[in-house]
Structures are given as C-alpha cells and as structure tokens.
Amino acid sequence: MDRNQIVQPENIVCKKPTLLNDNNMHYCPGCSHGVVHKLIAEVIEEMGMEEKAVGVSPVGCAVFAYNYIDIDWQEAAHGRAPAIATGIKRCWPDRLVFTYQGDGDLACIGTCETIHALNRGENIVIIFVNNAIYGMTGGQMAPTTLIGQKTSTCPYGRDPQLHGYPLKMADIAAGLEGTCYVTRQSVETVGAILKAKKALKKAFQASMDGKGSSLVEFVSTCNSGWKLTPAKANEWMKENMFPFYPKGDLKDTTGLK
Amino acid sequence: MAEEREVVLMKGNEAIAHAAIRCGCDGYFGYPITPQSEVIETLAELKPWETTGMKVVQAESELASIYMVYGAAGAGKRAMTSSSSPGIALMQEGITYMAGAEVPGVFVNVQRGGPGLGTIQPSQGDYFQATRGGGNGDYKVIVLAPSSVQEMADFVDLAFELAFKYRNPAMILSDGVIGQMMEKVVLPPFKPRRTDEEVIAQCPWASTGKPKNRERVVITSLELKPEIMEQRNIALQEKYAKIQENEVRFEEQLMDDAEYAIVAFGSAARIAEKSVELARQEGIKVGLFRPITLFPFPIKQITALSKKVKGILVAEINAGQMVQDVRLAVNGSVPVEQFGRLGGIVPDPEEIVNALKKVM
Amino acid sequence: MKGAIVVDTERCKGCQLCIIACPQKVIALANKVNLHGYPYVEAVNEESCVGCASCGIVCPDGCITVYRKKMEE
C-alpha cells in the first residue's frame, strides 16, 4: 500500500478542528495554551454550538485567543472576565459562555470576580490555565507559584515569609455553593488530553443545562518563563506541579456522565 | 566626610527602584505591567527589607496596590507604587481617595499608548489623566515630569518631600522611553528611613495609634454634612493655590534670543532638544521651554514667554493635551500649534522641526 | 493498520512534543526552518506509522493531520 492510498480524506483520524482557524498561534513552542485552544474548538464543534458560543479572553499570553477560535469573543480587562461573562450570559441565556484565563488573571487581580461569579452560580464555564508564572509580562511570580520556585520577582525562590503561600483556586471553587463542576486536568500526554476533553465537554454541557458555574483548571507549562525546553517543562510539571495541584474532579453535582 | 556619589549606567525604571531605597522609602506595593516591570523586579533583587527595612510587596492588582499605598501613607509612612497607563487608570479611585483624605502617597506612571489596553510602546497620552484627574471630584495631584534617567532618580525623594509637605498624593509622570532607556545616573546618597518616633512627631495627622494626649485620627474622604464638606473642599482648593504659588519647576534652553518657542515635557523634550539644534543650524531662532511640574503648571512663565516670541509649537506625544494649558496661559496673544504622534509612535527630531516651520 | 502524517510545516514550531509522544519513532526534527524561523518536524520513518494520532493529539498548534487505513490482506 503506498502513501497516496493512505493519505485520503476518508482516512483522516486526527486533524486541526475547523473552528480553530488558520491563523498561526503566537504562543511559545510547546505551550499548553495551544492544546487547550484545540480542545475548546473541538468540543464546541462536537456540541454543534459554533454559532452560539461566546468567549471572554484575558490579559495574559492568551489575550489573542479571539484570533484563533472562530466564535464571538470579548476581550476583558485583567481579571474582569467573569464579570463580563455574567453580563453576556444573563442577557443571552441560550448562549454557551465561557472565560479563558491564566493564573494572574484569575487568581490574583481577578480573584474577587472569579469567586463572586462562581458563587453566584452564573451558568458559565471558567477555563483556568495554571502555569504558576506570569508569562506575558516576562516571568514574574504568580499566586500559584510554588514554594521555592524561582521567578523574576522572587529570584531566590518563593519564600512564605515574604511572599505568602500559593493559592489553590480549584479547592476554593469546590467549596462555593454556586459551582456544579470543578476539575483539574492537564494536556501533556494523549491520555491526559482525552480526559481533559471529556471534562471540558461536561462543563460546557452543565452550563447549557443551567446547573451552575464550572471551573476547569488545566495544570500547564510555561517553558519560556520556567526557562526549560517544552519536554523538560512537562517533566518539571509532573514532578512539581501535579503533587501540589492534584488532577481529578473536586466537585461534580452535574449528574452528567 | 565625603558624600557618597555613585555613577552608574541603568534604565530609568531601575533608577526609580534604587532611588526609592536610598531616599528612605518605607514600602513599595506594585503589580507588573509593561513597560515598567523592572521597578519591582529591581527592588525584589536588591532585597531592601534586609538592608533598610523597606517593604516590597507584589500586590494582586493595581487596585490592591494603590490601596496598600493609601494605608501605609495614611499611617505616615513613605509608601509608593508604579504602573503604566492602563494600571494608573485602574488606580484612579484610590488616587481620588488619597486626595480627599489628604494622604501623601507617591506613584509613578510609565506611560504607554492608549486608549484602553492600547500598546506597550511609549506615549504622553496621560497628561489629562494626571493633571485633570481620572478620579471623581475637585482635586489635584502634584505631577513631576522627568526627562532623563537622572531625573527619574532625583524625583522620587522630591515627590515624597512635596507629598508630605502638602499632605497630597504626588506622581512622577514618566513614559516608556525614559523608563526603558539607559543613561549615566548619579544615584542619591542613602538617607535612612525615619524611625517610628520621628514619624509620629512629624505626622500628628497620621493614624499611627492614638496616644493619651490627642484625639483619634480617622483617615477618610467621607463627610456627609454639606456645610462641613464645603469647608473641606475650600481648604483643598487653598492648598492647591499654595502649591501653584510655591512649587513650579521648569527648564529653559536657548530662550534668550528666541523668536519661537517649543514647549515640551518628558521624552518629547529630549527629542525637542535635538530639534532646536537642527532648527538653529538652519538659522531659525528657536528655544525650548520644558515644564518640569505639570501640576503646578508654569502658567506665569509661559504667559511671559508668549510676550517675547512670534509663535509657539507644543510638541507632545499625544493628540493635544498640554497644548490646552499652554493656550490658556498664552491667552490668544500669539499662535500656538501642536505636533504629536499617536499610538505608540515616538517622533523624530526632524518631524518637530517641520511642524515648527508651519508655525512660522 | 497503516498510517501516514501530513505536517503543516508553516504552523510547526519545532517543540518536539510529537516526537516524544510517537510510540513508533516516526518523526524527527528536519534540518530546515520555515518562514517564521522555526525548525519543523517531518516523518522520517513513515513505514512504521500505525496512525495512532498521538502526535496530532499532543501537538499544541494543530499542525499534524493523521491518516489511517486498514491494511488489506
């Protein structure tokens, strides 16, 4: 069998989702953002919600998320995405509304908006890409930076006496009345990606079913900020991030499979 | 004993950090934003909490930053923050609170292009925000406009001095050019932080803890009785009039025989220095007037200048902001034109010369 | 099953995560760069490809289209 027989449209088993357009994404090579974008595009397509989805993008590396997924977006001020998403969903209850935020956006400047939107039980999905660093502004400490981890504003390693402790937003979210689904996923292996996609779909479906708010955290890498290759960054994440931010469902009252 | 003088090469942003430590600053509370993140990064690396005892806190937002400054400064301590245009927009509420409560906080704006999220490239588009105030109510902030790394270093102590002298928030209005460029700077000598006793003695208005011999202090901008609130506002206006009378700062270059004047501040003034040189080479008798304080604005000086020249060009990197204050001072006696670039573009000296020729 | 991959070389950033994910050692970094200056990957051992799509699934930029056809006896 020669290659031409294999490379035929009917034999495609994996391709870039149509909803992820042809613009080259600006993220660093190996960045977890790209995979998460792909999953969002795939799930919206599979749910048939392309014409009814509205995303809210953050300030952070994913500020240009609206350039890559072919749905309607709003760009939020830093940390304010959950408030904007609330306004959209309250006025358009039949839309699929989600935010896409990094650790600075969601867990630092936007903690207030995050917690309050989740706790009001807004029927939105908050997507949280957690790589324990501020990537876009050059690698400063984030509220999720680990103890001992070095960044440009804790160059000698995060020290609780000076910098306080890392924040586990998913745990906080799981304790809020308004949330129906809180989960931690990752996207560095095929197995993890397949689980992550299922989790994302459950969250989106729960929001359309009016079950309340969801937080889907993606424990991620930032190879530029961590100053590691993409492969080494995945290793570092497994050794250091996963023990502190354990994966799995922290809360699930959706009743969905 | 010889005064300690160190000459180093550094960025404007770095100079702010070094100068803060050296002038006895008690606390820096800030948030990263391009193009000024070097301020907090430099402070974090220098670890002043181990040397002078100065605290450095990375807050969760500009909102939190400005309110941390409010708290520390309301208790009589030298507290500051820094940010760039969109972050300063966010701080406006905290700034008006400081003005209303007469809290001597200091903040630095390393301007970038706007409006909104804008760009990370430099601009001078926040002149209105700085001098007219983006917060609510009738208030003024003391505004210093450095045009060199040396002035970035010098103005930190000056900002604190003025802030405490008048119990008023003070800002250093810089921009992405000055913040990012590297120049030689003579760093100010180390001045120790005031002791707690000195703070209590010098700031009886501050919430330092109520001793038996005075009434309690409440740091607030709230007053519900309109008769009293009017008096408080009148007092603020009188304070601003005093600042206008006593604290104007400016610089003139080649104005003695000038037939035309370029008025510019900050990085635009640095560029305009070259424009003046180029124009003079063509035989044009032009001089440069550089306001250093934007509030208080050098009104009297510009009025006097307008009686000597045939025309004025205001060169600023925005759509026309300081030109309004110049026109007010000139009051129609000579033509005043404005030249600016927008969106993060920094003009060339030649562009300013060409604009000057249109005034002539 | 026999597989084959088509790489969008202008999207590829040479992060090499596909190389690590591939169980069949099909992919390697080419000795070339694309228009953006990134080195990109190519199939160097496509005879071993079984079309598992691990590469396409882990790729952060959606560069890889994976084909699979059942081998006829």
Instruction: Calculate how close chain C gets to A56, using CA atoms only, in Å.
Output: 21
CA atoms of A204 and A109, how far apart (whole Å): 25
Token code pair at residue B273: 């220095």
Mean pLDDT of chain B: 95
For A124-183, what is each residue's pLDDT tens digit?
999 999 999 999 999 999 999 999 999 999 999 999 999 999 999 999 999 999 999 999
pLDDT at residue A257, as a whole number: 87
Q: What domains can you pick out in chain C, each with its CATH number?
A: 2-69 (3.30.70.20)
Mean pLDDT of B327-355: 96
- Whether the predicted pLDDT of B4 surpasses 70: no
pLDDT tens track for A213-243: 999 999 999 999 999 999 999 999 999 999 9
Domain map of chain B by residue range?
6-196, 250-359
C23-62 pLDDT tens trace: 999 999 999 999 999 999 999 999 999 999 999 999 999 9
Question: C71 to chain A, minimum CA–CA distance in Å?
Answer: 8
* Cross-chain Cβ contact A190/C57 below 8 Å: yes
CATH level 3 topology of B6-196: Rossmann fold (3.40.50)
Are there at least 3 beta-carbon pairs closer than 8 Å between B and A?
Answer: yes
Q: At B3, is the pLDDT very low, low, confident or very high (cuts 50, 70, 90)?
A: low
Residues of A in contact with B117 (CB under 8 A): 59, 63, 75, 77
Q: What is the pLDDT of residue A76?
A: 86
Neighbours of A89 (CB within 10 A): 21
B131 has pLDDT over 80: yes
Q: Is the CB of A6 less than 8 angstroms away from the CB of C3?
A: yes
pLDDT at res. B216: 73
SS (H, E, C) B207-227: CCCCCCCCCCCCCCCCCCCHH
CA–CA separation, A89 vs A91, rounded Å? 5
With CB atoms and an 8 Å threshold, state whether C36 touches A24: yes
For the beta carbon of residue B352, count every other beta carbon within 10 angstroms: 25
Structure confidence at residue A87 (pLDDT): 84
Assess whether pLDDT exceeds 70 at residue A251: yes
Q: How far apart are CA B38 and CA B43, in angstroms?
A: 8
- Asked if A109's CB is within 8 angstroms of B41's CB, the reply is no
Given a cut of 60, whether residue B2 has pLDDT beyond it is no
Search chain A and give the residue with CA nearest B55: A162
Interface contact A6-C2, CB threshold 8 A: yes
Interval B287-319: pLDDT, tens: 999 999 999 999 999 999 999 999 999 999 999
This prediction has a pTM of 0.85
* Interchain proximity B117–A143, CB inside 8 Å: no
Q: Which of C47, C49, C50, C58 to mutate to test the interface with A (most CBs of A within 10 A)?
A: C58
Q: B45-72, pLDDT tens digit by residue?
A: 999 999 999 999 898 889 889 988 998 9
Q: Which CATH class is domain A25-252?
A: alpha beta
**Could you tell me what percent of chain B has a pLDDT over 70?**
98
Q: 3-state class of B28 per DSSP?
A: strand
Q: Are A54 and A71 in contact (CB under 8 A)?
A: yes
Q: What is the model's pLDDT at position C73? A: 58
C-alpha B354: how far from its chain's center?
29
**Inter-chain touch B32–A140, beta carbons under 8 Å:** yes
Contact call for C58 and A13, based on CB within 8 A:
no
Partner-chain residue, chosen from B45, B47, B60, that has the shortest CB–CB distance to A109: B60
Chain C residues touching residue A39 (CB < 8 angstroms): none
Nearest to B129 by CA among B322, B339, B338: B322
To test the contact with chain B by mutation, choose from A80, A141, A153, A154 the residue with the greatest count of B C-beta atoms within 10 A, namely A153
Chains A and C touch (3+ CB pairs under 8 A): yes
pLDDT digits (tens, 9 = 90+) for B158-167: 999 999 999 9
Cβ–Cβ contacts within 10 Å for residue B86, how many?
Answer: 19
Domain at B250-359, CATH from 3.40.50.920, 3.30.70.100, 3.40.50.300, 3.40.630.30:
3.40.50.920
